[in-house]
Chains A and B, each alone.
Chain A
Amino acid sequence: MKFGNRVDIKEIELRNVCLREGNGVIWLDDVSVKFQPGQTAFFKGEQVASNILKLAAGLLTPTLGQVLINGNDIHEMDFEEFLPYRLNLGYTFNLGGILNNRTIKENLMLPFLYHGAPIEFAEKEVQEILDLFELNRYQDYRPAGVPGVVRKLACIGRTLAVTPQVLLMDDPTSSMKPNVVKRLKSWIEERREEAPLTVLVASDHDEFFSDWNYQVYGIENGRLKTLDEPRKKVAGL
């Protein structure tokens, strides 16, 4: 069961996107790329890679160019028009992104409660995530009182709990134990057995996912390049 009025995401496209700052820094220059349902892609290049995910999530507005979902320019939509797409776009933060005045469990419950999902359903979905990442003992703590990795897991868990069709993950594996990464991978694989799940990751550590079929992109002078790197197998995963 999915809550909220959602629109299936059939394609995400960045068309001739430029991203520049007032001080002259060019993050992206004429970038065009498309993602289909079920695709996995890694973007390498720290801040620039994060910006691509933020553009796709509608959290950043390009200086030039368009970000299209199902052929519709998301920056021509207002908040309410974009909402049915947004509920199927799950963005996880590298740093921050967790509400400091709410407990870890309240953070996970928030999207369900705000969008009017039944409380029993929300409790069940959130409990599944708390179990998955072993967050049960931290659930009643506020973010300031828990380790950084717990905050990050809560942020990822909050996104997974609402089962979006597209996962946009900003450096999800940094500072995480291999067994936690393995559980995250298993969760994604299980969901992929049910329906196509697009996974776009900004990270230099694609080796954790080396048994998946994915595309690696690098960014050089603002231009997107396809990288053909050898994939490594990591022992223990």
Chain B
Amino acid sequence: MNATLRLADDIGHRLMNMFSYTFSVLSMIYLSFRTVMFDQAQGFRAIFSVVSAQIYFTGWQALPLIGALALATGAVVIMQSTAQLSRLGGAGMLGELLVAVIVREIGPLITALIVIARSGTAVASELGNMKVNRETEALEAMGINPLSYIVFPRIVGGIVSVVCLAFYFVLIALLGGYLVSYFFHDLSFVFYTDTLAQALTPFDVWFFLLKNIFGGTFIFVVCCYQGLLVKESPSEVPQVTTKAVVNSIIYVVGFNLILSLLSYVEQLTRYGIL
């Protein structure tokens, strides 16, 4: 009985911590946007320069890595799908399969994981070091709200970068992947583009945008939040960076999973299966 109570207590405690953490993270999004809306004194010129720097580091510099991964992923998925569907006589379903796998699932997920690994860690450690060096205090002392100068530009720059990178991933995966697989399979380009165009619906576009916008938000707000948790010691920086990566992955994967489940439940309902 005691063991059961302890287990229940432990689970309850963990759940409360998770809700409290989520509430704090969501509050940070609200406060940073609110500060930018209501603080009339700030110079948008200074904030815009931080946004553009964030887009450069997160988006532009990640293009080669994302491109290589997209090419490899696209080629593998297209080759496997063509081979399997041809055997089953379902070659006409290739477009639907690629949209479901690459546009809806793999594109947003791999992009998010790359951004977490490259930029999430950079943001968390940069902000942690800023706290250690009293840079955030210095900003406050100058009348510069760290939420509008540090957090807001990183979230906005992060969202823009993630959406653009995911779009770039999907484009390279579908077109570059076709070119690579062309050497192994006799797949007509006209047939390929036609089946893709027929499969892609406005719902897929919304689904893609929703996953990437929220994914980008979660990654950067969690990393900013963790970075700003550092108190005074440099030894805290790697600890918060690790936690930022783990928490970002949990939030992004969790959100993507929930969204995908909801969409498939909706599809099953539409087809009368549920």
Interface of A is mostly: loop
**Which chain B residues lie closer than 8 Å to A33 at the CB level?**
none
Interface of B is mostly: helix
Residue A42 interfacial (CB < 8 Å): no
Docked complex Cα distance between A13 and B39 (Å): 27
Docked complex Cα distance between A233 and B65 (Å): 65
A87 with B143: CB separation less than 8 A: yes
Docked complex Cα distance between A93 and B140 (Å): 12
The number of A-B residue pairs with CB atoms under 8 Å apart is: 80
Q: Which residue of B lies closest to A168 (CB)?
A: B141
Docked complex Cα distance between A79 and B146 (Å): 10
**Which chain B residues lie closer than 8 Å to A59 at the CB level?**
137, 140-141
Residue A100 interfacial (CB < 8 Å): yes
Q: Considering the complex, which residues of chain A in the window 99-114 have a beta carbon less than 8 Å from any beta carbon of chain B?
A: 99-101, 110-111, 113-114
B133 with A100: CB separation less than 8 A: yes
Contact code string B148-182 (vs A, CB < 8 Å = 1, else 0):
01000000000000000000000000000000000
Among A101, A111, A155, point to the contact of B144 (Cβ < 8 A): A111
A98 with B39: CB separation less than 8 A: no
Q: Considering the complex, which residues of chain A in the window 142-166 have a beta carbon less than 8 Å from any beta carbon of chain B?
A: 155, 158-159, 162
Stretch at the interface among B3-11, B40-48, B197-205, B214-222: B40-48
Residue B68 interfacial (CB < 8 Å): no
Q: Considering the complex, which residues of chain B in the window 20-35 have a beta carbon less than 8 Å from any beta carbon of chain A?
A: 35
B135 with A99: CB separation less than 8 A: yes
Residue A71 interfacial (CB < 8 Å): no
Residue A43 interfacial (CB < 8 Å): no
Among B135, B141, B144, point to the contact of A100 (Cβ < 8 A): B135
Residues of A at the B interface (CB closer than 8 Å) are: 4-5, 57-59, 79-80, 83, 86-87, 89-91, 93, 95-101, 110-111, 113-116, 155, 158-159, 162
